[in-house]
Amino acid sequence: MSILISFLSLCLYIAVICFVAWVILWVVTSLFGWQVDANVLKFGKIIVALLILIAIVAWLAGVLGMGGPGLPLFWRH
């Protein structure tokens, strides 16, 4: 059961990364009215993909018991 909960936490973490990237793009294009260059958008997508890959590798290292740090928690008790 804990693997399922940690997987759902990983999905939430990935969703937060994608949402923040979308909000930044939305603010730049809609509120400021600036056009984003294709190269800047490409590098932004690469950075988001790398953040997601880091989150997946950290989660897998924690699940497989390789001493991974695990994902940062948004809330602590």
pLDDT of 43 strictly over 60: yes
* 27/16 Cα distance (integer angstroms): 16
At 72, give phi and psi (nearest 5°). -70, 140
Domain containing 13: what range? 2-63
Q: What is the mean pLDDT of residues 31-39?
A: 91
**Does residue 70 contact residue 32 with C-beta atoms inside 8 Å?**
no
Torsion sign over Cα 9, 43, 61, 64? positive
Answer yes or no: is 72 within a domain. Answer: no
The pTM assigned to this predicted structure is: 0.81
Answer yes or no: is 29 within a domain. Answer: yes
Answer yes or no: is 53 within a domain. Answer: yes
Tens digits of per-residue pLDDT, 4-31? 888 999 999 999 999 999 999 999 999 8
Q: Would you state the pLDDT for residue 40?
A: 94
Q: Would you state the pLDDT for residue 5?
A: 86
Q: Would you state the pLDDT for residue 76?
A: 54
Q: What is the mean pLDDT of the chain?
A: 87
What total number of domains does the chain contain? 1
Answer yes or no: is 46 within a domain. Answer: yes
Torsion sign over Cα 27, 30, 32, 34? positive
